[in-house]
Homo-oligomer: A and B are copies of this chain.
Amino acid sequence: MKKIKLFLLLFLLHLSIIGMAQEKKTFTLNDLLPGGNTYRTSTPQTIFTTWWGEICVETDVEQCATIDPRSGKRKTLFTLDQLNEWLDSGDKPTVRSCLYTEFPYADKPLAVISVASRRYMVDFKEGKMLWKQEIPSNSSHVDWCPASKSVAYNKDNNLYVMDADGHETAITNDGSNDIVYGQSVHRDEFGIYKGTFWSPDGNRLAFYRMDQSMVPDYPQVDITTRIATTYSCKYPMAGEAMHKVTVGIFCPATKETVWLKAGDPTDRYFTNISWSPDSKKVYMIEVNREQNEARLMRYDALTGELEACLYTERHPKYVEPLHPIQFLPWDGQKFIYQSQRDGYNHLYLFDLSKAGKDGWQHIEGRDGEWQENVKVTQLTSGQWVVRDMAGFDVKNKSVIITANTLSPIQANIFSVKVSNGKRNLIGNDEGVHYVRLSSKGSYLTDTYSSPSVARSINILKASDGRGINLITADDPWKDYDVPEITCGSIKAADGVTDLYYRMVKPVGFDPSKKYPTIVYVYGGPHAHNVEASRNYLSRGWEIYMAQKGYLLFILDNRGSELRGADFENVTFRHLGIEEMKDQMEGVKFLHSLPYVDKDRMGVHGWSFGGFMTINLMLTYPDVFKVGVAGGPVVDWKYYEVMYGERYMDRPQDNPEGYQGSSLLPKVGNLKGKLQIINGYNDPVCVPQHTLSFLRACIDAGKQVDYFTYPGDGHNMFGQDQVHLHERITQYFEDYLK
């Protein structure tokens, strides 16, 4: 008897030792979220590189070093200490990191470093500072031109230029909340992200002017002043008056501005501004308010005269030009235009020297038509999309792109021969790749991750894809108790289309158990949630929830990006409807899994995903027990003109669509626990959405929960993000577990 007891004791001891040996760590929200103060714990290691002509430079905090593209050998260009010495820093270092050093001149040993409102240029061969420039400290929207060393910037909504010698010129003087210069316009839609455009020779500056005097302010409240105050937040709502944009060309030499003679700017979008290589012409894509016609126009940059319409594209739903044209570096008469006119985003070669086809063209059986006023040749084609056009390999006369040719959820690198469209894979055939090309495109850095590679950074030759590996990161999760993350596809509600999902199983998954399951959803255009990168793009919060015993499911429904025009625009004029049908196919799939607890299904999403979350809660009240919706759209009439009308038209033109897509008429269906969270100062999905929903719930006698982050906008950052996810987690813990 005693012997048995001893044996049992030893056995238990043994088990406990095994347990200790195998014990893995658990992530906190601070480890897993970008805003967390220990976020580095959970992210793969990386290095920073930039290009100096055809030479790759590794920039780290302490130094800049060239990398030999064959051996990978580093050779120090200069150290942080040297840099500070050249800048005559004395005891207090002027520069604290070399990370963001630039090498703008391919053939000169010059580095440019920006610190706050100062910019320094050093000659690292001579070991001295060559030049510096200081702009006013209240400047914003800074755009520096390496060609002329001039810099454009914004002060109080006026546009200024400072030349290389430090002379400042005010280009405009009537800037205000109503009239805004040199900033991004059209709410960053149509690929617009800035408002100044230097000509290649640096002698002219194209810039946006936006008159938004006719656009009402959404009343945003600042509670940090002694007595709360409002601040200006122009917000053009769908169907209402929108701003008017014009484009000026400033010549620093003459100090004169000409305006592009584009006609009445009312209800028009001026997008994708670019320059001809000779700095004499400005190209612009012009879209009508209905967003069903895009015209590529050319203007004389010296006079502002309209010279020609080169191309027109129409679609009965919408067109959406997102990319400026890019001239071939070796032929000033040819450029690349991106269009999804055949159903997928592809490259088209335009030849200014040759005439186009007569009349309107179209593809049999497809919507949309176009008119080519110059010769157009399709360079890429197929049921996949060009995700990014990185630039040109000048020597081999090819374009370098990333595309999902190999799989809808991958992004691989290809060189595309301009002469014949021949496509060559560069880098491996897995994962999701990002490219940065050298000046002439002979080399590129290929940064990628895949489900099996946390991060890999390589220097490759564009001609043959050969090269070296700079870093292959260890799995930063190896000491942690992490969930299994899988990826797969199901059929969309149309029965035909493949939809990709990610599933994050609870840590310590036991297939004989039933787990509370949360659908995380976005579902809107311009985004995807599932791809073949690290962890299939899983978000930190999913890991956190898996640690807590939840199963997470994420599905990219029709309406999301990278799958072609038909996939996306099936939602036209009734946002939410098709998207939900697809998500319910995901739910059907989940219900077929024995370890998914049908009675404990939750849903969570932010922004468009907040809209989807509430919509799913109201449309399928018996399916979802708990939902957390962040910064949601509640009624598209409260969303802005540019994005909103593209998908929904104007409320006055599509009243049934708006009514059918609105969450307000559905509040009476609310059954489960729903919490809505927003940034109190959200300038994107303005609080009127959420507050109108609360009011409708109150009027319908429905209880809904709410939280707001004063001072935060559409998203939460830093510790607010951690607080937010603690909150979201707690809600599921309280009501779904």
Contacts and interface: CB of A to CB of B under 8 A. Distances in A.
- Which 4 A-B pairs give the minimum distances between C-beta atoms? A219-B230, A695-B710, A691-B710, A228-B688
A203 B99 CA distance: 84
Nearest to A693: B710
A120 interface: no
A235 interface: yes
A705 interface: yes
Contacts of A711: 695
Nearest to A686: B228
A709 interface: yes
Contacts of A237: 226-227
A37 to B, nearest CB: 11
15 contacts: A216-B229, A218-B228, A219-B221, A219-B230, A223-B687, A223-B692, A227-B240, A228-B686, A691-B708, A695-B710, A695-B711, A698-B710, A701-B722, A703-B730, A705-B707
A692 B705 contact: no
A680 interface: yes
Interface in A686-737: 686-688, 691-692, 694-695, 698-699, 701, 703, 705-711, 719-720, 722-723, 726-727, 730, 734
A227 B218 contact: yes
Contacts of A699: 719
Nearest to A727: B703
A711 B696 CA distance: 11
Contacts of A722: 701
Give the copy number. Answer: 2
Contacts of A235: 227
A703 B723 contact: yes
Contacts of A228: 218-219, 686-688
A691 B218 contact: no
A694 B692 CA distance: 21
Nearest to A709: B698
A703 B726 contact: yes
Interface residues of A, number: 41
Contacts of A719: 698-699, 701
Given A219-B229, A219-B230, A227-B218, A694 B723 contact: no
A719 B726 CA distance: 33
A36 to B, nearest CB: 12
A701 B723 contact: yes
A242 B49 CA distance: 60
Nearest to A219: B230
A411 to B, nearest CB: 37
Contact of A223 (B226, B691, B726): B691
Contacts of A240: 226-227
A344 to B, nearest CB: 38
A730 B710 CA distance: 25
A648 to B, nearest CB: 16
A23 to B, nearest CB: 27
A228 B686 CA distance: 9
A541 to B, nearest CB: 16
A722 B727 CA distance: 27
A684 B149 CA distance: 57
Contacts of A227: 216, 218, 235, 237, 240, 638, 688
Nearest to A707: B706
Contacts of A218: 227-228
B705 A705 contact: yes
Contacts of A707: 694, 705-706
Interface string A629-673: 000000000100000000000000000000000000000000000
Nearest to A698: B723
Given A219-B219, A229-B219, A692-B710, A698 B720 contact: yes
Nearest to A699: B719
A638 B227 CA distance: 7
Contacts of A698: 709-710, 719-720, 723
A695 B709 CA distance: 7
A102 to B, nearest CB: 36
Contacts of A686: 228
A686 to B, nearest CB: 7
